[in-house]
Amino acid sequence: MKIAFNRKSSCEIVITEKVWEILAGLAARRRLFVLTDKTVYGIYSDRFDSVFPTSSVYTMSAGEAYKTPEVLLALLKKMADEEVLRGDLLVAVGGGVVTDLGGLAASLYMRGIECAYVPTTLLAQVDASVGGKTAVDFCGVKNLLGTFSQPRSVYIDPSFLATLPLRELRCGLGEIVKHAALFPALYERLSAASDFYDVGFLGEIVPLNLAFKAQIAEKDPMETGIRKCLNLGHTTAHMLELSSSDLSHGEAVLNGLILEAEIAKRTVKDADVAFLCSLQSLCRRALGDAEPVKGETIDLSLARLDKKNVRRGEIVLTLPVRCGEYRIVPMDARGYEDMLKEILPS
């Protein structure tokens, strides 16, 4: 699959079960600088050591807490110390934290060097590795510093999913259900699935997700129009993440979709209520043994903190309406808060 963003920028996406062989081939042809995190390195150290015997491998600490300007600068310093040159290739092997931070480093170093992503989480395989958004968190705001910059190649090997903890699979499932609500072919596959946590099944639906995300990103690389559909469920998800400390992003997205489907039922006249009920039940199945959120665990006053989606007392929601259709609906922030109080289960 190849996505062309304009005449100068394109990205090839390769789905393969031979990712280490491909990386070994790359390492034989050009100088690589490899970024990964400690967890991924810990699990796949034999592969890293045999495939990259002469390349520099920079291993950052794992997790969102390390997606920071400080870690970015430490990485850039290491690249400068190692005398990485413009013709070299940065290879980011890991989840969305590693690909977002590695992509940003590659776009900054010497005004931009090429990079390749090897996404190893479900979320990174179906979402973060495609579309060219790179970032680190700054001043307490997620992804405040970043660029739009496409990797040269993305190599996706579904066998990485076998080592992923269940909660990380759920993070990917949040984005997969969101894509499905917007993409009928994927909705059909999910509706027919017996076990959402079967990594064989998840590997099979990665390409459909990629096809959907790539087509949206290709049409709207800078997120000025149609790409905003990917915010489906996310305004409420961000609010839930801000007001509850123990929800993962995937759990917040699945709960956000359940609540926004309910808001759509009540506020969008031509909404397909049967579809919205079926979407809510898909989200509950994807949550697995994680309980849907309850009213008493959420501090709604914090909803207003989500700067990206609140403008002068108005909150912007991207609501599901029917299969494959969404609507961007501004709502008075107080009205949104009241509605959530009404619909959150106790």
DSSP secondary structure string for all residues of 92-146: EEESHHHHHHHHHHHHHGGG--EEEEEE-SHHIIIIITSS-EEEEEETTEEEEEE
Taking each helix axis from N to C terminus, what angle separates 273-287 and 166-182, rounded to the nearest 10 degrees? Answer: 170
Pick the binder of ligand NAD from 163, 185, 195, 335 (CB under 6 A). 163
Pick the binder of ligand NAD from 123, 214, 263, 286 (CB under 6 A). 123
Pick the binder of ligand GLY from 35, 126, 230, 340 (CB under 6 A). 230
Pick the binder of ligand NAD from 3, 33, 100, 243 (CB under 6 A). 100
For 11, other C-beta atoms within 10 Å of its C-beta total 23
Residue 227, contacted partner among ligand NAD, ligand GLY, none, CB below 5-8 A by kind? ligand GLY
Of the pair 133, 322, the CB lying nearest ligand GLY is at 133
Q: Which residue(s) pair with 118 in the sheet?
A: 93
Residue 160, contacted partner among ligand GLY, ligand NAD, none, CB below 5-8 A by kind? ligand NAD
Phi, psi of 132 (to 5 degrees): 85, 10
Residue 133 makes contact with ligand GLY by CB under 6 A: yes
State the nearest-atom distance from the C-beta of 191 to ligand GLY, in Å.
23
**Strand 114-119 relative to strand 133-138, pairing:** unpaired
Cite the DSSP H helix spans in the chain. Answer: 19-29, 38-51, 69-81, 96-108, 122-123, 166-182, 184-192, 199-219, 234-243, 249-267, 273-287, 333-343
Pick the binder of ligand NAD from 84, 91, 108, 164 (CB under 6 A). 164
Select from 108-116, 126-134, 195-203, 333-341 the region that touches ligand GLY (CB under 6 A): 126-134
Structure tokens at 76: 């850039």
Residue 131 makes contact with ligand GLY by CB under 6 A: yes
**Strand 141-148 relative to strand 2-4, pairing:** unpaired
Residue 96 makes contact with ligand NAD by CB under 6 A: yes
Residue 98 makes contact with ligand NAD by CB under 6 A: yes
State the nearest-atom distance from the C-beta of 262 to ligand NAD, in Å.
24
Structure tokens at 324: 């494959």
**Hey, what amino acid is at 294?**
K
Residue 96, contacted partner among ligand GLY, ligand NAD, none, CB below 5-8 A by kind? ligand NAD
Phi, psi of 319 (to 5 degrees): -95, 145
Q: Which of residues 8-47 bind ligand NAD (CB under 6 A)?
A: 37, 39-40, 43
- Gap between the Cα atoms of 75 and 293, Å rounded: 38
Select from 57-65, 178-186, 197-205, 332-340 the region that touches ligand NAD (CB under 6 A): 57-65
Chain residues binding ligand NAD by CB under 6 A are 37, 39-40, 43, 62-64, 67, 94-98, 100, 120-121, 123-124, 127-128, 131, 133, 142-143, 160, 163-164, 168, 171
Chain residues binding ligand GLY by CB under 6 A are 127, 131, 133, 223, 227, 230
